[in-house]
Amino acid sequence: MKRFLAILAFPLAAAAIAAEDARQLVTMPAPAQAALREEMLDFMGALNEIIARLGEGKPAEAAAVADAKLGFPAMGRHRGSPPEAMPGRHMPAAMHEMGRSLHRLADEFARTARKGDLAAAVAALQPVTANCVACHLSYRIR
């Protein structure tokens, strides 16, 4: 019965969240929105690749993916774009800081993973995904 109630409660909780969206709406011009969403899809792909490499027991290869696609080298990709296509420009300071944290945490993950200890690498990936989750729980753009 308890389990049944838990199963029942889950969609109800989800519905409550949808009805009362606590995320802060960040308005940005359409080109910046599009650039942000494109970048996000790349992040998702990078994360998937990282987990795949970890699953194969190849933490150094996971580190290389994080370096190239999530870490500091992946930052500032909108630098050459016009201001209306630069998502960072339209973010509140705290949100922008979360974005920078993502690159820093990815960098830390890569450094740990490169040492070759799989369990340590997985543990170092968790703050990265926690950062994705925290930003998504705090902000929306539409």
Question: Which CB, 120 or 132, lies closer to ligand HEC?
Answer: 132
Residue 72 CB, nearest approach to ligand HEC (Å)? 14
Our finding on whether 122 is near ligand HEC (CB under 6 A) is: no
The Cβ of residue 114 has, within 10 Å, a number of other Cβ atoms equal to 17
* One-letter identity of residue 17: I
Cα–Cα dist 22/9, whole Å: 20
Q: Return the residues of window 30-89 that contact ligand HEC according to CB under 6 A.
A: 37, 40-41, 43-44, 47
Minimum gap (Å) between residue 106 Cβ and ligand HEC:
8
CB of 1 to ligand HEC, least distance (A): 37
- Taking CB under 6 A as the rule, does residue 142 contact ligand HEC? yes
Angle at 114 between CA 113 and CA 115, to 5 degrees: 90
Residue 43 Cβ vs ligand HEC, minimum distance, rounded to whole Å: 4
Closest C-alpha among 123, 127, 78, 131 to residue 100? 131
- φ, ψ of residue 70 to 5 degrees: the values are -125, -25
